[in-house]
Protein backbone atom coordinates (compact mmCIF):
# COMPACT_ATOMS: atom_id res chain seq x y z
CA UNK A 1 0.00 0.00 0.00
CA UNK A 2 1.27 3.46 -0.89
CA UNK A 3 1.10 5.51 2.30
CA UNK A 4 1.28 8.72 0.25
CA UNK A 5 -2.26 8.00 -1.00
CA UNK A 6 -3.75 7.74 2.49
CA UNK A 7 -4.31 11.49 3.11
CA UNK A 8 -5.97 11.93 -0.27
CA UNK A 9 -8.21 8.93 0.43
CA UNK A 10 -9.25 10.38 3.77
CA UNK A 11 -9.91 13.74 2.16
CA UNK A 12 -12.08 12.15 -0.52
CA UNK A 13 -14.04 10.17 2.07
CA UNK A 14 -14.56 13.25 4.21
CA UNK A 15 -15.78 15.20 1.18
CA UNK A 16 -18.29 12.49 0.31
CA UNK A 17 -19.59 12.40 3.89
CA UNK A 18 -20.01 16.17 3.96
CA UNK A 19 -21.93 16.12 0.66
CA UNK A 20 -24.19 13.36 1.93
CA UNK A 21 -24.85 15.30 5.10
CA UNK A 22 -25.98 18.27 3.03
CA UNK A 23 -28.58 16.26 1.13
CA UNK A 24 -32.18 16.51 2.36
CA UNK A 25 -33.23 13.45 4.29
CA UNK A 26 -36.06 11.46 2.68
CA UNK A 27 -36.70 9.62 5.94
CA UNK A 28 -37.36 12.71 8.04
CA UNK A 29 -40.03 12.07 10.61
CA UNK A 30 -43.29 13.95 10.32
CA UNK A 31 -44.24 16.51 12.95
CA UNK A 32 -46.68 15.06 15.47
CA UNK A 33 -48.43 16.38 18.56
CA UNK A 34 -49.98 14.50 21.50
CA UNK A 35 -53.69 13.86 21.44
CA UNK A 36 -55.42 17.06 22.62
CA UNK A 37 -56.32 17.17 26.30
CA UNK A 38 -60.06 17.76 25.95
CA UNK A 39 -62.60 16.83 28.60
CA UNK A 40 -65.40 14.45 27.79
CA UNK A 41 -67.93 17.09 28.89
CA UNK A 42 -66.73 19.57 26.28
CA UNK A 43 -66.76 16.92 23.55
CA UNK A 44 -70.26 15.82 24.59
CA UNK A 45 -71.46 19.44 24.37
CA UNK A 46 -70.06 19.66 20.82
CA UNK A 47 -71.89 16.48 19.82
CA UNK A 48 -75.12 17.65 21.41
CA UNK A 49 -74.86 20.99 19.60
CA UNK A 50 -74.38 19.59 16.11
CA UNK A 51 -75.70 16.01 16.12
CA UNK A 52 -79.03 14.36 16.72
CA UNK A 53 -79.76 12.50 19.94
CA UNK A 54 -80.34 9.42 17.78
CA UNK A 55 -76.83 9.56 16.27
CA UNK A 56 -75.05 6.28 16.92
CA UNK A 57 -71.78 6.01 18.80
CA UNK A 58 -70.09 4.56 15.71
CA UNK A 59 -71.01 7.66 13.66
CA UNK A 60 -69.67 10.01 16.34
CA UNK A 61 -66.37 8.11 16.56
CA UNK A 62 -66.15 7.91 12.77
CA UNK A 63 -66.64 11.68 12.58
CA UNK A 64 -63.93 12.29 15.18
CA UNK A 65 -61.31 10.08 13.52
CA UNK A 66 -62.18 11.23 10.01
CA UNK A 67 -61.36 14.78 11.05
CA UNK A 68 -58.17 14.16 13.04
CA UNK A 69 -56.73 11.58 10.61
CA UNK A 70 -56.95 13.84 7.55
CA UNK A 71 -54.73 16.77 8.51
CA UNK A 72 -53.87 17.62 4.90
CA UNK A 73 -57.42 18.44 3.80
CA UNK A 74 -58.03 20.32 7.05
CA UNK A 75 -54.87 22.35 6.43
CA UNK A 76 -56.17 23.29 2.98
CA UNK A 77 -59.53 24.21 4.46
CA UNK A 78 -58.08 26.33 7.30
CA UNK A 79 -55.54 28.00 5.03
CA UNK A 80 -58.23 28.95 2.55
CA UNK A 81 -60.37 30.48 5.28
CA UNK A 82 -57.49 32.45 6.79
CA UNK A 83 -56.11 33.85 3.55
CA UNK A 84 -59.38 34.47 1.71
CA UNK A 85 -61.42 35.48 4.76
CA UNK A 86 -64.14 32.97 3.93
CA UNK A 87 -66.86 32.25 6.42
CA UNK A 88 -67.40 28.67 7.50
CA UNK A 89 -69.50 27.30 4.67
CA UNK A 90 -69.80 24.83 1.89
CA UNK A 91 -68.28 27.23 -0.61
CA UNK A 92 -64.92 25.85 0.48
CA UNK A 93 -64.29 23.28 -2.24
CA UNK A 94 -61.79 21.32 -0.12
CA UNK A 95 -64.04 20.50 2.79
CA UNK A 96 -66.94 20.03 0.36
CA UNK A 97 -65.55 16.62 -0.67
CA UNK A 98 -65.33 15.38 2.92
CA UNK A 99 -68.79 16.68 3.80
CA UNK A 100 -70.50 15.03 0.83
CA UNK A 101 -68.90 11.65 1.62
CA UNK A 102 -69.97 11.91 5.28
CA UNK A 103 -73.56 12.69 4.37
CA UNK A 104 -73.72 9.90 1.80
CA UNK A 105 -72.18 7.22 4.04
CA UNK A 106 -73.56 7.94 7.51
CA UNK A 107 -76.96 9.48 6.93
CA UNK A 108 -80.25 7.89 5.96
CA UNK A 109 -81.64 10.52 3.57
CA UNK A 110 -78.67 12.62 4.72
CA UNK A 111 -80.34 13.44 8.02
CA UNK A 112 -80.08 10.50 10.45
CA UNK A 113 -77.17 11.85 12.49
CA UNK A 114 -77.78 15.61 12.19
CA UNK A 115 -80.25 17.63 14.23
CA UNK A 116 -83.84 17.37 13.04
CA UNK A 117 -84.31 21.14 12.75
CA UNK A 118 -81.67 21.40 10.00
CA UNK A 119 -83.25 21.70 6.57
CA UNK A 120 -81.90 19.53 3.72
CA UNK A 121 -80.36 22.56 2.03
CA UNK A 122 -78.49 23.52 5.20
CA UNK A 123 -77.14 20.06 6.11
CA UNK A 124 -73.76 20.53 4.36
CA UNK A 125 -73.29 23.87 6.13
CA UNK A 126 -74.24 22.29 9.46
CA UNK A 127 -71.69 19.53 9.01
CA UNK A 128 -68.97 22.02 8.05
CA UNK A 129 -69.80 23.95 11.24
CA UNK A 130 -69.40 20.72 13.22
CA UNK A 131 -65.99 20.12 11.65
CA UNK A 132 -64.89 23.68 12.41
CA UNK A 133 -66.19 23.31 15.96
CA UNK A 134 -64.16 20.13 16.47
CA UNK A 135 -61.02 21.79 15.06
CA UNK A 136 -61.46 24.70 17.48
CA UNK A 137 -62.24 22.39 20.42
CA UNK A 138 -59.07 20.36 19.81
CA UNK A 139 -57.13 23.61 19.25
CA UNK A 140 -55.69 22.23 16.04
CA UNK A 141 -55.52 25.64 14.37
CA UNK A 142 -53.20 26.93 17.10
CA UNK A 143 -50.93 23.92 16.56
CA UNK A 144 -50.47 24.63 12.85
CA UNK A 145 -46.81 24.61 11.87
CA UNK A 146 -46.27 26.94 8.90
CA UNK A 147 -50.02 26.83 8.23
CA UNK A 148 -50.02 23.00 8.17
CA UNK A 149 -51.87 20.89 10.72
CA UNK A 150 -49.59 18.35 12.41
CA UNK A 151 -50.37 14.67 12.71
CA UNK A 152 -51.96 13.68 16.02
CA UNK A 153 -50.19 10.92 17.92
CA UNK A 154 -52.83 8.38 18.98
CA UNK A 155 -50.63 6.39 21.34
CA UNK A 156 -52.66 7.55 24.33
CA UNK A 157 -55.80 6.07 22.71
CA UNK A 158 -54.36 2.57 22.53
CA UNK A 159 -56.56 0.07 24.31
CA UNK A 160 -55.41 -2.58 26.76
CA UNK A 161 -55.08 -6.08 25.31
CA UNK A 162 -56.07 -9.31 27.03
CA UNK A 163 -55.73 -12.75 25.43
CA UNK A 164 -58.21 -15.28 26.81
CA UNK A 165 -59.72 -18.63 25.77
CA UNK A 166 -61.97 -18.16 22.72
CA UNK A 167 -64.86 -20.11 24.29
CA UNK A 168 -66.39 -19.37 27.72
CA UNK A 169 -67.14 -23.02 28.48
CA UNK A 170 -65.54 -26.47 28.34
CA UNK A 171 -65.93 -28.20 24.98
CA UNK A 172 -64.99 -31.70 26.14
CA UNK A 173 -67.64 -34.39 26.15
CA UNK A 174 -69.21 -35.09 29.52
CA UNK A 175 -68.70 -31.60 30.92
CA UNK A 176 -72.00 -30.27 29.52
CA UNK A 177 -70.48 -26.89 28.64
CA UNK A 178 -69.30 -26.18 32.17
CA UNK A 179 -68.10 -22.61 32.71
CA UNK A 180 -64.40 -21.87 33.10
CA UNK A 181 -62.79 -20.46 36.22
CA UNK A 182 -59.62 -18.42 36.38
CA UNK A 183 -56.46 -20.49 36.30
CA UNK A 184 -53.31 -19.17 37.95
CA UNK A 185 -52.52 -16.29 40.25
CA UNK A 186 -52.78 -12.62 39.40
CA UNK A 187 -49.06 -12.16 39.93
CA UNK A 188 -48.30 -14.93 37.41
CA UNK A 189 -50.20 -13.45 34.45
CA UNK A 190 -47.67 -13.27 31.59
CA UNK A 191 -47.03 -9.93 29.90
CA UNK A 192 -46.42 -10.47 26.18
CA UNK A 193 -46.14 -8.73 22.81
CA UNK A 194 -48.90 -9.31 20.26
CA UNK A 195 -48.48 -8.77 16.52
CA UNK A 196 -51.80 -7.93 14.89
CA UNK A 197 -51.30 -7.73 11.17
CA UNK A 198 -48.67 -5.08 10.55
CA UNK A 199 -49.14 -3.44 13.96
CA UNK A 200 -47.69 -4.49 17.30
CA UNK A 201 -49.17 -4.28 20.78
CA UNK A 202 -46.62 -4.43 23.58
CA UNK A 203 -47.83 -5.13 27.08
CA UNK A 204 -50.73 -7.56 26.58
CA UNK A 205 -51.86 -10.01 29.27
CA UNK A 206 -52.48 -13.72 28.68
CA UNK A 207 -55.23 -15.30 30.78
CA UNK A 208 -56.07 -18.99 31.17
CA UNK A 209 -59.17 -20.81 32.41
CA UNK A 210 -59.85 -24.21 33.89
CA UNK A 211 -62.87 -26.48 33.72
CA UNK A 212 -64.25 -27.24 37.19
CA UNK A 213 -65.20 -30.78 36.15
CA UNK A 214 -62.43 -32.30 34.01
CA UNK A 215 -59.68 -29.88 35.16
CA UNK A 216 -58.67 -29.17 31.55
CA UNK A 217 -56.77 -25.87 31.20
CA UNK A 218 -57.84 -23.51 28.42
CA UNK A 219 -55.35 -21.08 26.87
CA UNK A 220 -56.03 -18.66 24.00
CA UNK A 221 -54.61 -21.12 21.44
CA UNK A 222 -54.71 -24.58 23.05
CA UNK A 223 -56.28 -26.90 25.63
CA UNK A 224 -54.21 -29.09 27.94
CA UNK A 225 -55.63 -32.09 29.77
CA UNK A 226 -54.24 -35.17 31.49
CA UNK A 227 -55.25 -38.71 30.57
CA UNK A 228 -53.65 -41.25 32.83
CA UNK A 229 -50.09 -40.14 33.37
CA UNK A 230 -49.75 -38.30 30.03
CA UNK A 231 -50.49 -34.63 29.53
CA UNK A 232 -51.90 -33.79 26.11
CA UNK A 233 -52.25 -30.59 24.12
CA UNK A 234 -55.21 -29.98 21.82
CA UNK A 235 -54.82 -27.22 19.26
CA UNK A 236 -57.73 -24.77 19.31
CA UNK A 237 -58.63 -24.54 15.64
CA UNK A 238 -60.66 -21.32 15.97
CA UNK A 239 -58.01 -19.49 18.01
CA UNK A 240 -57.63 -15.81 17.16
CA UNK A 241 -54.07 -15.63 18.49
CA UNK A 242 -51.16 -18.06 18.26
CA UNK A 243 -48.19 -18.36 20.57
CA UNK A 244 -44.95 -18.29 18.56
CA UNK A 245 -42.42 -17.52 21.31
CA UNK A 246 -41.95 -17.27 25.04
CA UNK A 247 -43.37 -13.74 25.12
CA UNK A 248 -44.60 -13.39 21.54
CA UNK A 249 -48.09 -13.95 20.15
CA UNK A 250 -49.49 -13.25 16.68
CA UNK A 251 -52.99 -13.06 15.26
CA UNK A 252 -54.32 -15.16 12.39
CA UNK A 253 -53.85 -12.29 9.93
CA UNK A 254 -50.11 -12.36 10.63
CA UNK A 255 -50.05 -16.16 10.34
CA UNK A 256 -51.77 -15.96 6.96
CA UNK A 257 -49.26 -13.30 5.87
CA UNK A 258 -46.39 -15.65 6.71
CA UNK A 259 -47.97 -18.50 4.73
CA UNK A 260 -48.66 -16.28 1.72
CA UNK A 261 -45.08 -15.03 1.77
CA UNK A 262 -43.58 -18.52 2.06
CA UNK A 263 -45.60 -19.86 -0.83
CA UNK A 264 -45.14 -16.80 -3.03
CA UNK A 265 -41.64 -15.38 -2.78
CA UNK A 266 -39.92 -15.66 0.60
CA UNK A 267 -38.19 -18.03 2.96
CA UNK A 268 -38.66 -17.94 6.73
CA UNK A 269 -35.39 -16.08 7.16
CA UNK A 270 -36.06 -13.49 4.46
CA UNK A 271 -39.63 -12.89 5.70
CA UNK A 272 -38.43 -12.36 9.27
CA UNK A 273 -35.73 -9.97 8.06
CA UNK A 274 -38.23 -8.01 5.95
CA UNK A 275 -40.78 -7.78 8.76
CA UNK A 276 -38.23 -6.76 11.39
CA UNK A 277 -36.87 -4.02 9.14
CA UNK A 278 -40.31 -2.71 8.19
CA UNK A 279 -42.78 -3.22 11.05
CA UNK A 280 -41.39 -4.76 14.24
CA UNK A 281 -37.74 -5.23 15.10
CA UNK A 282 -38.35 -7.94 17.68
CA UNK A 283 -39.47 -10.56 15.13
CA UNK A 284 -37.00 -13.41 14.57
CA UNK A 285 -36.76 -16.34 12.17
CA UNK A 286 -38.00 -18.69 14.88
CA UNK A 287 -41.13 -16.59 15.39
CA UNK A 288 -41.94 -16.63 11.67
CA UNK A 289 -41.31 -20.37 11.48
CA UNK A 290 -43.57 -21.05 14.44
CA UNK A 291 -46.30 -18.86 12.95
CA UNK A 292 -46.20 -20.75 9.65
CA UNK A 293 -46.48 -24.14 11.38
CA UNK A 294 -49.18 -23.08 13.85
CA UNK A 295 -51.33 -21.44 11.16
CA UNK A 296 -50.96 -24.23 8.59
CA UNK A 297 -51.79 -26.99 11.10
CA UNK A 298 -55.03 -25.29 12.08
CA UNK A 299 -56.11 -24.58 8.52
CA UNK A 300 -55.48 -28.14 7.38
CA UNK A 301 -57.16 -29.59 10.48
CA UNK A 302 -60.20 -27.39 9.90
CA UNK A 303 -60.37 -28.43 6.25
CA UNK A 304 -60.04 -32.09 7.26
CA UNK A 305 -62.72 -31.63 9.96
CA UNK A 306 -60.69 -33.28 12.70
CA UNK A 307 -58.97 -32.32 15.95
CA UNK A 308 -55.22 -32.31 16.37
CA UNK A 309 -53.94 -33.57 19.73
CA UNK A 310 -50.31 -34.29 20.66
CA UNK A 311 -48.43 -34.88 23.92
CA UNK A 312 -47.76 -31.57 25.61
CA UNK A 313 -44.23 -30.19 25.49
CA UNK A 314 -43.17 -31.66 22.13
CA UNK A 315 -40.51 -29.74 20.19
CA UNK A 316 -41.74 -28.08 17.03
CA UNK A 317 -40.19 -30.66 14.70
CA UNK A 318 -41.98 -33.44 16.55
CA UNK A 319 -45.24 -31.48 16.20
CA UNK A 320 -44.65 -31.24 12.46
CA UNK A 321 -44.01 -34.98 12.24
CA UNK A 322 -47.19 -35.69 14.21
CA UNK A 323 -49.21 -33.39 11.97
CA UNK A 324 -47.84 -35.12 8.89
CA UNK A 325 -48.76 -38.49 10.36
CA UNK A 326 -52.18 -37.65 11.80
CA UNK A 327 -53.58 -35.14 9.31
CA UNK A 328 -52.05 -36.38 6.06
CA UNK A 329 -50.43 -39.80 6.40
CA UNK A 330 -50.53 -41.76 3.14
CA UNK A 331 -53.55 -40.04 1.71
CA UNK A 332 -54.43 -36.85 -0.07
CA UNK A 333 -55.72 -33.91 1.93
CA UNK A 334 -59.53 -33.98 1.52
CA UNK A 335 -59.71 -30.42 0.22
CA UNK A 336 -57.71 -31.45 -2.85
CA UNK A 337 -59.49 -34.62 -3.89
CA UNK A 338 -62.42 -32.94 -5.63
CA UNK A 339 -60.79 -29.60 -6.42
CA UNK A 340 -60.81 -28.35 -10.01
CA UNK A 341 -59.51 -25.08 -11.38
CA UNK A 342 -58.01 -23.68 -14.57
CA UNK A 343 -54.57 -23.52 -12.99
CA UNK A 344 -54.25 -27.23 -12.22
CA UNK A 345 -56.35 -28.76 -14.99
CA UNK A 346 -55.68 -28.37 -18.71
CA UNK A 347 -56.66 -29.96 -22.01
CA UNK A 348 -54.68 -33.02 -22.99
CA UNK A 349 -52.08 -32.43 -25.72
CA UNK A 350 -50.85 -35.62 -27.45
CA UNK A 351 -47.07 -36.10 -27.48
CA UNK A 352 -45.22 -35.19 -30.63
CA UNK A 353 -44.36 -37.99 -33.01
CA UNK A 354 -40.76 -36.76 -33.00
CA UNK A 355 -40.21 -37.13 -29.27
CA UNK A 356 -36.66 -38.17 -28.50
CA UNK A 357 -37.09 -41.47 -26.75
CA UNK A 358 -34.92 -44.54 -26.25
CA UNK A 359 -34.48 -46.06 -29.66
CA UNK A 360 -35.21 -42.80 -31.50
CA UNK A 361 -32.67 -40.93 -33.62
CA UNK A 362 -31.54 -37.83 -31.77
CA UNK A 363 -31.39 -35.88 -35.03
CA UNK A 364 -35.17 -35.95 -35.18
CA UNK A 365 -35.60 -33.75 -32.13
CA UNK A 366 -32.47 -31.60 -32.27
CA UNK A 367 -33.28 -28.04 -33.28
CA UNK A 368 -36.65 -26.56 -34.01
CA UNK A 369 -36.14 -25.83 -37.70
CA UNK A 370 -34.15 -28.93 -38.59
CA UNK A 371 -31.15 -26.90 -39.78
CA UNK A 372 -29.07 -27.07 -36.60
CA UNK A 373 -26.17 -29.44 -36.39
CA UNK A 374 -27.59 -32.67 -35.09
CA UNK A 375 -25.68 -35.34 -33.21
CA UNK A 376 -24.73 -38.25 -35.45
CA UNK A 377 -26.88 -41.32 -35.32
CA UNK A 378 -25.52 -44.31 -33.49
CA UNK A 379 -26.03 -48.00 -33.91
CA UNK A 380 -28.58 -47.98 -31.09
CA UNK A 381 -30.65 -45.23 -32.71
CA UNK A 382 -33.43 -46.22 -35.06
CA UNK A 383 -36.00 -44.10 -36.80
CA UNK A 384 -39.44 -44.80 -35.41
CA UNK A 385 -42.26 -45.01 -37.86
CA UNK A 386 -45.53 -43.23 -37.26
CA UNK A 387 -47.23 -46.57 -36.70
CA UNK A 388 -44.93 -47.64 -33.86
CA UNK A 389 -46.57 -47.36 -30.43
CA UNK A 390 -45.17 -44.98 -27.86
CA UNK A 391 -43.40 -46.48 -24.85
CA UNK A 392 -45.66 -47.53 -21.97
CA UNK A 393 -44.22 -44.73 -19.79
CA UNK A 394 -46.17 -42.15 -21.82
CA UNK A 395 -49.89 -42.97 -21.69
CA UNK A 396 -52.08 -42.08 -24.64
CA UNK A 397 -55.34 -40.37 -23.65
CA UNK A 398 -58.46 -39.82 -25.67
CA UNK A 399 -58.95 -36.54 -27.49
CA UNK A 400 -60.65 -33.99 -25.26
CA UNK A 401 -59.37 -35.49 -22.02
CA UNK A 402 -58.27 -33.36 -19.10
CA UNK A 403 -54.85 -33.55 -17.45
CA UNK A 404 -54.63 -32.71 -13.73
CA UNK A 405 -51.52 -31.54 -11.91
CA UNK A 406 -50.23 -33.83 -9.17
CA UNK A 407 -48.20 -32.36 -6.31
CA UNK A 408 -45.55 -34.83 -5.24
CA UNK A 409 -43.97 -33.02 -2.30
CA UNK A 410 -46.63 -30.70 -0.97
CA UNK A 411 -44.95 -27.41 -1.89
CA UNK A 412 -45.35 -25.58 -5.19
CA UNK A 413 -43.96 -22.15 -5.96
CA UNK A 414 -45.92 -20.24 -8.53
CA UNK A 415 -49.53 -19.40 -9.44
CA UNK A 416 -52.09 -19.23 -6.69
CA UNK A 417 -55.03 -21.61 -6.53
CA UNK A 418 -58.26 -20.43 -4.88
CA UNK A 419 -59.97 -22.98 -2.65
CA UNK A 420 -61.93 -23.02 0.59
CA UNK A 421 -64.41 -20.32 -0.45
CA UNK A 422 -61.65 -18.35 -2.17
CA UNK A 423 -59.97 -17.65 1.18
CA UNK A 424 -57.11 -20.13 1.07
CA UNK A 425 -54.57 -19.37 -1.60
CA UNK A 426 -52.86 -22.56 -2.47
CA UNK A 427 -52.43 -23.36 1.23
CA UNK A 428 -49.90 -26.14 1.54
CA UNK A 429 -50.29 -26.42 -2.26
CA UNK A 430 -51.78 -29.87 -1.77
CA UNK A 431 -55.15 -28.99 -3.20
CA UNK A 432 -54.43 -30.60 -6.57
CA UNK A 433 -52.86 -33.78 -5.29
CA UNK A 434 -54.29 -37.27 -5.48
CA UNK A 435 -51.12 -39.02 -4.38
CA UNK A 436 -49.41 -39.33 -0.98
CA UNK A 437 -47.58 -36.18 -0.03
CA UNK A 438 -45.30 -34.74 2.62
CA UNK A 439 -46.52 -32.28 5.26
CA UNK A 440 -45.31 -28.84 4.15
CA UNK A 441 -44.03 -28.04 7.62
CA UNK A 442 -41.27 -30.57 7.15
CA UNK A 443 -40.19 -28.67 4.07
CA UNK A 444 -40.11 -25.46 6.04
CA UNK A 445 -38.16 -27.24 8.75
CA UNK A 446 -35.49 -28.23 6.27
CA UNK A 447 -35.27 -24.82 4.65
CA UNK A 448 -35.31 -22.90 7.93
CA UNK A 449 -31.94 -24.25 8.96
CA UNK A 450 -30.26 -22.34 6.16
How does pLDDT run along the chain (450 residues), one tens digit per residue?
443 344 444 444 444 343 444 444 434 456 778 888 889 999 999 999 988 888 888 889 989 999 888 888 888 877 776 666 555 444 567 788 888 888 888 765 545 688 877 787 888 888 888 988 988 888 877 656 556 777 888 888 888 999 999 999 999 888 989 999 999 888 889 999 999 999 999 999 999 999 989 999 999 999 999 988 899 999 999 999 999 999 999 999 999 999 999 888 778 999 999 999 999 998 999 999 999 999 999 988 988 888 999 999 999 989 998 998 888 776 666 656 666 777 778 888 776 665 555 554 444 444 444 444 555 555 544 454 555 554 455 567 777 788 876 654 444 444 444 444 333 333 333 333 333 333 343 333 323 322
**Domain of residue 48, residue span:** 32-156
Q: Is residue 438 part of a domain?
A: no
Domain count within the chain: 3
99 and 222 housed in the same domain: no
Q: What is the Cα–Cα distance from 441 to 420, expressed in whole angstroms?
A: 20
270 and 362 housed in the same domain: no
142 and 173 housed in the same domain: no
166 and 287 housed in the same domain: yes
Q: Is residue 5 part of a domain?
A: no
Q: Give per-residue burial for 57-89: e unless 16+ CB within 10 Å, then b.
A: eebbeebeebbbeebeebbbbbebbeeeeeebe
Q: Is residue 195 part of a domain?
A: yes
**Full-prediction pTM beyond 0.75?**
no
123 and 189 housed in the same domain: no
- DSSP lists the bridge partners of residue 208 as 183
Q: Is residue 443 part of a domain?
A: no
194 and 297 housed in the same domain: yes
Amino acid sequence: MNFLSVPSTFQLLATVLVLLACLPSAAAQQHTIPFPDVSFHDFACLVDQHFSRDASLSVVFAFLFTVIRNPEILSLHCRRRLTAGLRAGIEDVWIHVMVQRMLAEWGTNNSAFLRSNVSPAKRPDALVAAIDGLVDLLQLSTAMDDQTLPIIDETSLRHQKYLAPPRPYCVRSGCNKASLRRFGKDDDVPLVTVLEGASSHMGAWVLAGQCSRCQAVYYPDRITHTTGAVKYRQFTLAARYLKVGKNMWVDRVFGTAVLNALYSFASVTSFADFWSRTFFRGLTRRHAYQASIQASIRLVAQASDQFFIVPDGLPIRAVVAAANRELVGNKAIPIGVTHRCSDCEHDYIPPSANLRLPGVDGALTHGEDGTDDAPPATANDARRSDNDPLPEAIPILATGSKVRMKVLDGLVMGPLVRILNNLCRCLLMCCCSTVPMTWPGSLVARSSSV
